[in-house]
Structure 1
Amino acid sequence: MVVHNGNPQKKALIKGGHEKVIQARLEDGEFYFKEDTRQKLSSRVSALNGIVFHKHLGTLLDKTKRLQFLVKKIAEKLAFSEQDTKVVTEAAKLAKADLLTSMVGEFDELQGFIGAEYALREGVSKKVANSIAEQYLPRHGKDVLPKTKSGAILSIADRIDTLCAYISIGLMPTSTGDPYALRRQATGMIDIILSFGFDISIPWLATITYKRLAKDFKRLAKETEVVLKTTQLAKARLEFRLSQTGIDYDIIRSVAKTDTGRPVDFKERTLALQSIRNRENKALQDIITVCNRASSIADKNFGTKINTDFLIEKEEKAFYKLLLKTEKQLDEEILKGKYKEAIRTLSSLKKTIDLFFDEVLVMVKKKELRKNRHALLNRFVLACLRVADLSEIVKDQT
């Protein structure tokens, strides 16, 4: 289809001109395709040693070897079968080979897709070919995501390698520029992880990637710095993505303060809090009220170790007993990712805690009692922090 705003009386002439251009491009494509298929895709892999990835980060062959390592590690982490791990490892080996083809040289938008086609023609399995085709997805913010798990893992490995590699040589995006499109790489990685529900940690991904990079290159930034910056970049893109789904900024911020580095877990916590706010706001407001009150009174220097011998008043005994039960219940709920239930569990403590505040003097003169009561409050605040930092959530003024 061609759209033009020329003279309608010249339609036939315009049509002929377009057809000539398209015909020439199709003939070019046919020629390059025939030339490329004279050589197997797998035979091109070693020649990747002649293409520089970055002057401080070696060649595309170096990157290919890192991808093979990373996809295997990720597949093991996600409990892939031996056969599926083999598929994604083979795909990683062939992933960049089509960059040496004439077809990609002329039609660069075909990278990945034409590699998959060439791989199929030399007898590679369809699963491997699909993974090769999906490695660059998503190419932009509104692009489709990989459909296969192996393609998703290959894309994640490619992106985390690029992120850690560039950050390790000081090429972190700034407020004024991102010449290597690292934000887009991070956003794509987050989108894939969330879409497939992969329970993997960004700090873990960054750590294994850095260690593999450090085997080949010595002049890199420190591991802790690279892992931290990579995690922060990915986390920022995760928060941005979640804000686009309608989750309130203060809820995102509250979860960010207690983030474990696992995007899927982060999302589940924010969804749970948003759902409670939208449908059971009283439960959320109750727990925010008592948690904020406890946090403002408690002295963190007293720690969380409680001596039951110094539990004197019946209200503090009841508080301690219920807190033990709540901690056990939270263990089960958080392990299963049942964050809405965890919030309701914490909210159920309000009446008992209110009685504690009404009847028990925390700032008592006797040091042993005072320390114990602060420890009790600290332990309760710590229980709340297992879901989110509730002090970051804006409390209703009604």
Structure 2
Amino acid sequence: MADFLLELLSEEIPARMQEKASADLARLFEAEIAKAGLAAQTVETYATPRRLTLIARGLPAATEAVSEETKGPKSSAPPQALEGFLRKTGLTREQLTERDGILFAVVEKPGRATTEVLAEAIPAIIRAFPWPKSMRWGAASQSTASLRWVRPLQGIVALLGEDVVPFEIDGITSGAATLGHRFHHPGMITIGSAHDYAEKLRACHVILDPAERRGIIEGGARAIAEARGLHVIPDPGLVAENAGLTEWPVPLLGDFDPAFLEVPREVIQLTMRTNQKYFACVDASGKLAPNFICTANIVATDGGAAIVAGNRKVLAARLSDAKFFWEQDLKVPLAEQAKKLDQIVFHEKLGTVADKVERVAKLARWLVEEGVVKGADPGHAEQAARLAKADLVTGMVGEFPELQGVMGGYYARAEGLPHEVADAIRDHYKPVGQSDDVPTAPVTVAVSLADKLDTMAGFFVIDEKPTGSKDPFALRRAMLAFIRMVESNKLRLKWLDLFRQAADQIYTPALAARLSDWGVLGEGLAEVRPPDFPNPDDEYGPDQQAIWSWTVEAKEVDAATFHAPADIAAFLVDRLKVQQREAGIRHDLIDAVFALGGEDDLVRLLARVTALQAFVATEDGANLLAGYKRAANILKKESVTPAQAGVHQEGGAGGAMDPGLRRDDGLGLGFAPEPAESALSAALEVAEAAASSAVAQENFEGAMAALAGLRGPIDAFFDSVTVNDVDPAKRAARLGLLARIRGAVHRVADFSKIEG
């Protein structure tokens, strides 16, 4: 057994590509050598800014001999079939093996030296490497068939044990020599084997393992910050990026003019992070400190003073730009900025951002006035919605799009607008992802909900729904955010009404303008017939023809608006099931609640699901489920539907299949019920009433506790009573009891959907 070392030395590999490149190298290597029957015990990959490395441990010296068998025609097949098979395999008839009347070509392939396999595999891997972006270079780049790599490839180390694996690719010959640190050790290093590779690089100021470099950066930054009484703001992504930019990382602490702290904190942090890859610091009170930590790639003879000074100068220029944008933006009120939104197209079929703002403002006010969002001032909700997108046209957001919303909140506060309005402007995009905070302030909730509802309604109306893996307008994310907001804030709403209200505001801007010219545009699209509209069968001129075509389009949009709420509701159900499964809720329990139908209160629906999950995990739940399924199976076999039994879908009971047994001890039945029948009927009377009362109070745990009391009577009934009695009256009454069991349970969920 021997270890194989592969190093691909190049110009700087972008930090963002290194992790995936390491994974791709391991994947391609294992797949390529597997074609020859080789496998390593372990495969390790590493990346630095200048090299991509793989170490495959425990490779055999050669592949094993293999026997390849190819099935041929029957021995009695026509000569033409046999001749074709012989040509394909290159064998003679005498060399074929016959088994059970079938001819086989058996070819013994001798083992190959691992060195030979690797010499073929590595060039194939290099040429097939899936860089997100790659380039050609040098004279060979004139041909599209030339080698492509992320940056010019400079050298290849390929060692199996201590021996070079010889191959050449586009003039680059494999060997045992590489380069050390670009500044500390720019000369050649001769590698002995995979065993001394990492240590030889370390001696030449190259730390191979990215995890070790990350640890040095994180620990070093923390140490120098704490020495000044500061704390580094945690940023794992920035740590990884700095590790991808350095082979010998050296964290250094610098400072900047405290006057820049007048600029919002997020701007300073983003400027340092995005443009300079610096870490930000806070003081003991948590306030942003006028300091930064940069990561050098060398050990400077002056302790890093010159490096820090240079970085300070560059940062000062960046912060000066940010301060300029901040000061200029403050001179223009948000209401004035908002007037420019009609110059930004939101979507060609949905109009400008100004159009969207108008819709969101109306919807936000409606949410408050209708009591969907409680505790908010409707005027504040509308004002916040009208100003929420205004910062899109500011200089600061133009420079840092990531700060949209955040900057609007700062500008609103600087103007002296109510805090509720400023907070809503700042947070109305939230929650953006699963880890993002969910807004709870009423005005913010109203604006955020309205914004997301308008987006979903708009794209559903114009038939730009998510399909398969494609979701260009992030509607799945918008719906999950909607669900989280409703759930977290316990918003009691009928979602179909909500979607209908949002969809009713959508219309194509061009159509709206034309209809407005005719003076027929109302609040919606219900009435779009222009004045003096001609009969379509009559002859009419160009102007009337245009009016007719626009009216047809209006009707199409109106139809889409009509169908959109139901489509969005179906989309919500689909996303809700996904979200609940990811939260650990069993899919069958979700289906059991949804199967009841008619539930469009998200809070109540999720309460049912949660209570059901807890209940079925108990012994009473399992036993009730077993009893329910036994009853349901008999009813199914006898083709007794809820309608036939007089049992409503939501769980009401009574009717033809239950002729009086539910209210007396047999008088009028024509037979005396058995004790177990009477006991079950009495238990059902109690359970039905208690479950109905609990469901009405949305106490689903209590409803299930009431149903759990049926466990004993159901067991006793099945143990001692024959349901399908020869007496039609007894059979009908007993099937009625089973229908009542099914109906009682269906007050909470459709247990037929529950597995187990």
Q: TM-score range by the shorter chain?
A: 0.7 to 0.9
Asked if the contact 1:286/1:350 (under 8 Å) is kept, the reply is yes
- Which 10-residue stretch deviates more, 37-46 or 374-383? 374-383
Alignment of 1:348 with 2:697, yes or no, is no
Asked if the contact 1:303/1:378 (under 8 Å) is kept, the reply is yes
- Which 10-residue stretch deviates more, 117-126 or 11-20? 11-20
Alpha carbons of structure 1 residues 112 and 358: separation in structure 2 relative to 1, 3 Å:
same
Deviation per residue, 1:132-179 (Å, 9 max, x gap): 111011222222222412212211211121112112212111222111
Identity %: 30
Equivalent residues in 2 for 1:93-108, closer than 5 Å: 93-108=386-401
Compute the displacement of 1:114 (Å): 1.2
- 1:41 pairs with 327, 331, 334, which one? 334
- 1:150 pairs with 439, 443, 448, which one? 443
Alignment partner of 1:77: what SS? Answer: coil
Equivalent residues in 2 for 1:247-266, closer than 5 Å: 247-258=585-596, 260-266=599-605
2:571 equivalent in structure 1: 233
Give the number of the structure whose residues are more often helix, by fraction: 1
Alignment of 1:296 with 2:296, yes or no, is no
By relative contact order (CA 8 Å, sep 6+), the higher-ranking structure is: 1
Aligned residues: 392
CA distance in 1, matches of 2:631, 2:377: 50
Compute the displacement of 1:49 (Å): 2.4
Alignment of 1:326 with 2:687, yes or no, is yes
- Which 10-residue stretch deviates more, 67-76 or 178-187? 67-76
- 2:324 pairs with 4, 19, 31, which one? 31
Alignment partner of 1:115: what SS? Answer: helix
Equivalent residues in 2 for 1:112-151, closer than 5 Å: 112-151=405-444
1:80 equivalent in structure 2: 374
Compute the displacement of 1:325 (Å): 3.3
- Which 10-residue stretch deviates more, 230-239 or 120-129? 230-239
Alignment of 1:269 with 2:608, yes or no, is yes
1:58 equivalent in structure 2: 351
Compute the displacement of 1:326 (Å): 2.5
CA distance in 2, matches of 1:290, 1:156: 43
Alpha carbons of structure 1 residues 69 and 386: separation in structure 2 relative to 1, 3 Å:
farther
Compute the displacement of 1:63 (Å): 1.5
Alpha carbons of structure 1 residues 127 and 360: separation in structure 2 relative to 1, 3 Å:
same
CA distance in 2, matches of 1:227, 1:366: 51
Alignment partner of 2:505: what SS? Answer: helix
Alignment of 1:210 with 2:509, yes or no, is no
CA distance in 2, matches of 1:13, 1:201: 64
Compute the displacement of 1:17 (Å): 4.2
AA aligned to 1:269 is R
2:536 equivalent in structure 1: none
Asked if the contact 2:503/2:561 (under 8 Å) is kept, the reply is yes
Asked if the contact 2:322/2:396 (under 8 Å) is kept, the reply is yes
Asked if the contact 1:161/1:209 (under 8 Å) is kept, the reply is yes
Alignment of 1:178 with 2:471, yes or no, is yes
AA aligned to 1:264 is V
Deviation per residue, 1:93-131 (Å, 9 max, x gap): 211122122221111111111111212222210111111
Compute the displacement of 1:240 (Å): 2.9
Asked if the contact 1:149/1:196 (under 8 Å) is kept, the reply is no
Alignment of 1:336 with 2:697, yes or no, is yes
CA distance in 2, matches of 1:46, 1:333: 53
Give the number of the structure whose residues are more often strand, by fraction: 2
CA distance in 2, matches of 1:22, 1:258: 61
CA distance in 2, matches of 1:88, 1:140: 23
Query: Structure 2 regions of 5+ residues with no counterpart?
Result: 1-278, 280-292, 508-523, 526-553, 647-653, 662-668
TM-score by length of 1: 0.87
Asked if the contact 2:679/2:713 (under 8 Å) is kept, the reply is yes
Alignment partner of 1:8: what SS? Answer: coil
Query: Structure 1 regions of 5+ residues with no counterpart?
Result: none
Deviation per residue, 1:264-323 (Å, 9 max, x gap): 223222222232344xx1111122112212222221151414256453325555544443
Alignment partner of 1:63: what SS? Answer: helix
Alignment of 1:7 with 2:346, yes or no, is no
Alignment partner of 1:53: what SS? Answer: strand
AA aligned to 1:302 is Q
Alpha carbons of structure 1 residues 18 and 291: separation in structure 2 relative to 1, 3 Å:
farther
Compute the displacement of 1:232 (Å): 2.8
Asked if the contact 1:160/1:206 (under 8 Å) is kept, the reply is yes
Alignment of 1:287 with 2:624, yes or no, is yes
Alpha carbons of structure 1 residues 218 and 5: separation in structure 2 relative to 1, 3 Å:
farther
Asked if the contact 1:302/1:374 (under 8 Å) is kept, the reply is no
CA distance in 2, matches of 1:138, 1:335: 32
- Which 10-residue stretch deviates more, 184-193 or 350-359? 350-359
Compute the displacement of 1:44 (Å): 2.9
2:655 equivalent in structure 1: 306
Compute the displacement of 1:231 (Å): 2.1
- Which 10-residue stretch deviates more, 230-239 or 131-140? 230-239
